[in-house]
Every structure is written in structure tokens, then in C-alpha cells.
Structure 1
Amino acid sequence: MAAETEDFPTGSLSRSDHVIDHVKRMIASGELRAGDRLPIEKELAAQLGVSRGSLREAVRSLATLGVLETRQGDGTYVTQLDASSLLRHLEFWAGLQEANQSVDLLAVRRVLETESAGLAAVRLTEDEFEELEKILAEIDAGLITGELEPESFIDADAAFHHRIAVASGNAALSALIDSLMTRTLRGRLWRAITERDSLGEAHADHRAILAALRTRDAERARIRMAAHLLGVEVFAADHPVKDDVPPAHQSPGGHETTSTSSASDSNQ
């Protein structure tokens, strides 16, 4: 076919980009929906006027982006197009940032989480309030006994912030928040909180946030969350970490431990 040998005009989309753009338009228009199977390769290539090689290249790119998935022997399907999967590349990018750029990520996180707290204040269910209380109660117990290690605190903190983000009811907002708090950045925060020796202060902030959420006052919840995260941001700016901490935490005794939180639970 002519399209297999002729180049696209200068300045236009490449053949594979043409396919990507077409598939995107098919999804946006509703012609293709989450879970749908794409036309067979030969038919789709002919429909778009591209070679099967260009089509495969485009499919691989869309699969990498989390838009398509190829099932061996069964064809290519549109994924569920959930925000978490599609924003995975943002998480990868955030994890590549150098330590001195962590403050920038924390500033963006502050903006996003401030809004998520405001939305969550009017949407949290009683069951979700109980979950948040349980998380903080475990920190209370650790602080009383003196057995709370920094990595355990950060895991609990991750769950606390993640659940508030989910309770915002905005899946895109929640996914953005999770994507910006990478394992690398969590490692840097582990170092900062250890050197600062401020578990009690940060926990008091959490208690203030939960109390504000319980009032159902969106603006009060935003203020409490913003104040908490601004404190983290300012400390990170004043105490830059030169060396990254490995993703696995190092306990005070030097033994490596792994996080018990899910990959999406992330914050301090």
C-alpha cells in the first residue's frame, strides 16, 4: 500500500503518531470505550492507511502509557483508563528529580492536598473517619511507649494523607497526589524527620487536620492541611538532603525494613 512507503508531509504527524491521535479521538468520542477490543491489526492498518509496523509501534507506545493492553492470542484492548495507571509516568518523572528539587514537588503537593482536604471535609463518611482515627491512634500508642520508629510513622502518615485524598471524591486529584509522592521522596522525608526528631509535632498537625475535617468546615480543613504541608516544605528547603535514602527504610539499628503501605499510600 502506498502509505507504507510514502512519508507524511513535513511537519505533519508521523505514521505512528497518526495512529495514536486516531485512537485517542476514538476513545474521546466514545467509539472505543474502556475494555473494548481494537479492530484486528490488518483492518485497522488499512483503515488508517499505515503499515502494520507503524501500527504496532503506536500500539506499543499506547500500551506503555497505560491506554492499551495486548493480550497474547486475544488481541489489543483499551484499558480501564483509570487515573492511577495513566499518571504512572508522572510518578516516574517525579522519582527522577534531584534532592534539591524536592521542595518544588512538595509545593505542588501542598496545593493539591489543600484542595483535597477541603473536598474531603464535606464528603468523608463515618467509616472513613474511623479509618483515619485508627491510623492516628496507632501513632498515639507508639509515641506513648516510645517504640514508634520514623519509618512506621511515615507509613502511617502515607495512609492518612492517601485516605483523605481518596475521600475528596476526585479520582484525578487523588492520583496526582499519589504520583507526586514517590518512594525516593519518601526516603528523603524519612531522613528529614529523623534528623528533625519531630514525630510529635507532625502528629499534632495530623490531629488538628482530623479535628478540622470533623467540623465539616471545608475552609478550616484547607487551612490546617496547608499549614501542615507548608511546615514540611519550609523544613525541606532549610535542610536539603544531599544523599538519597534507599527506598527500603533503614531502622536505627541499621537493619533494612520494607514499607507495609501500598505503593499508592504516600505522604508525610
Structure 2
Amino acid sequence: MSLTDKAITRIREMIRSGQLPPGAKLPPEAQLAAELGLSRNLMREAVKVLAVSRVLEIRRGDGTYVTSLAPRLLLEGLSSAVELLSGETLRELTETRRLLEPAATALAATRITDEGLAEVAAHLDAMRAAQHDPERLNAHDAAFHRAVVAATGNETLSTLLEGISASTLRARVWRGLVDGNAAEQAIAQHEAIFRALVAREAPLAQAAALLHVSSTEDWLREHVPTDGTGEV
């Protein structure tokens, strides 16, 4: 472990222990470096790294603060990272989505409010209206799933699935361009998910979501090269 990594670890330990809770202002650089037995240069580098990862926030002229440490903040770089994946790794990512999203949809069926159902219904209507516009269709497809997962009230789960689904959006757009039956099939699958949510039937919602995600996974398996050269 490098000296910078050790400095990062020490600051993280202070945060985990509650010595520096969310929103807390860090002591002045010289003071903190002395307390941890580190040089100011090492402390400065550690703070920069933790700021990039959104653990700390540097406010010019004010000081350095611990962020809210909310899942959406800490995991917001996930979608950018997974956008670089292709080929076999992209299929692995879709497999991960298959493991998570049906369970999330089942949970949503037990927690979704009338307002949440109305939002999901609005995106479903927009999908129907955009059958011949793959990009609009897929934008509302993504929004549909965001609304469903948001209904779970689990911010960590929502952030993880948002990051994973963002990487497959291009695949769904491409599928809409090359497969004339994709729009009709996608809408039918989303309608099944919506009916299960309205009925508050968790097992049915899970099964409908599994069928939908599995169809995307099957398409990727058929169309995306295993050598990672595909542009999907």
C-alpha cells in the first residue's frame, strides 16, 4: 500500500468511526496531517482522491467537508464506468441486471404508491406513442424502469440498477433499429410488468420483469461479438 493509500485509509476510518460524520468539516490541513502523523503533501493528495470519489467536497475559501455519503452520490460514477464495457463483459452486466431487477420489481409491487403507479403508467403510454421512434421509445423504457425501482424506496438498489441499465441503453436503441418487432414486444412486456404492479402481485411482477430482462440478454448473446469489438 502506498503512503497516499494509507492516508486515504486513515481518513476513511475517521469517517466510518463517526469521528467525521456526513457534513462534517475536516480540521485544517496542517492539523489533520499532524493528528494522523502524515505529511501535508500526502494529506493533500489523499483529500484530492477522496474528493474525486465524492467522499469529500472541497469548498474553495471555506474548507473541506464530508459529503452526505448518499448512495446516489458515491455510486454516480458507475454508469460512466460501465459505458466502457463491451462484448462478453456487457453480457455479464446484463446478467447482473437479470439477477437484480426482477427482485427489485417484486419489491416495488409491495411498496408502490398510487402516485408511483401513475408515473409508471405515464411512461408506458409514452412508449406506446413512440413505437416508431426507437430513441424516444428507449428513453421512456429507461424512465419506466427507474420509476419502478424508485418505488422500492431503496436508493442503493436504484443507483446500482440505474448504472447497469445505462450501459445497455445503446443496445436497446440498436435493437429497435434492426428488429422491427422489438417495439411491439417491449411494450407488451412492460404492460405485463405494469399489470402485476397494479395488482400488487410480487411473484407475478418478478416473473414479468425476468422475462423482459432475459429477452434483452438473449438478444445481446446473439448479436454482440465475444471479442469486445461490437459497437453496441
TM-score tier by shorter-chain length is over 0.9
User: Where do 4+ consecutive residues of structure 1 move more than 4 Å?
Assistant: none
Q: Evaluate the alpha carbon distance shift between residue 89 and residue 134 of structure 1 in structure 2; reply closer, same or farther with a 3 A threshold.
A: closer
Q: Percent identity?
A: 36
| Residue of structure 2 equivalent to 1:26 | 14
| Residue of structure 2 equivalent to 1:238 | 222
Between Structure 1 and Structure 2, which shows a larger proportion of helix residues?
A: 2
Count of aligned residue pairs for this structure pair:
228
Amino acid across the alignment from 2:171: R
TM-fit CA distance, 1:243: 4.3
Structure 2 residue 124 is the aligned partner of structure 1 residue 136? yes
TM-fit CA distance, 1:47: 0.2
Query: What CA distance in whole angstroms lies between the structure 2 residues aligned with 1:80 and 1:222?
Result: 32
Structure 2 residue 188 is the aligned partner of structure 1 residue 204? yes
Q: Deviations over 1:61-95 (max 9, x none)?
A: 10111100101111100111121221134323311
1:173-212 alignment, distance < 5 Å: 173-182=157-166, 185-197=168-180, 198-212=182-196
Q: Highest Rg: 1 or 2?
A: 1
SS at match of 1:80: coil
Query: What CA distance in whole angstroms lies between the structure 1 residues aligned with 2:160 and 2:8?
Result: 23
SS at match of 1:69: strand
**How high is the TM-score relative to the length of structure 2?**
0.92
Amino acid across the alignment from 2:95: A
TM-fit CA distance, 1:185: 3.2
Q: Deviations over 1:121-142 (max 9, x none)?
A: 0110101101111111122234
Query: What CA distance in whole angstroms lies between the structure 2 residues aligned with 1:185 and 1:201?
Result: 17
Q: Which of 3, 9, 16 is 2:4 aligned to?
A: 16
Q: Evaluate the alpha carbon distance shift between residue 204 and residue 109 of structure 1 in structure 2; reply closer, same or farther with a 3 A threshold.
A: same
RMSD over aligned Cα atoms: 1.6
TM-fit CA distance, 1:192: 1.7
**How high is the TM-score relative to the length of structure 1?**
0.80
1:1-268 alignment, distance < 5 Å: 13-143=1-131, 148-182=132-166, 185-197=168-180, 198-240=182-224, 243-244=230-231
5+ residue gaps, structure 2, are none
5+ residue gaps, structure 1, are 1-12, 246-268
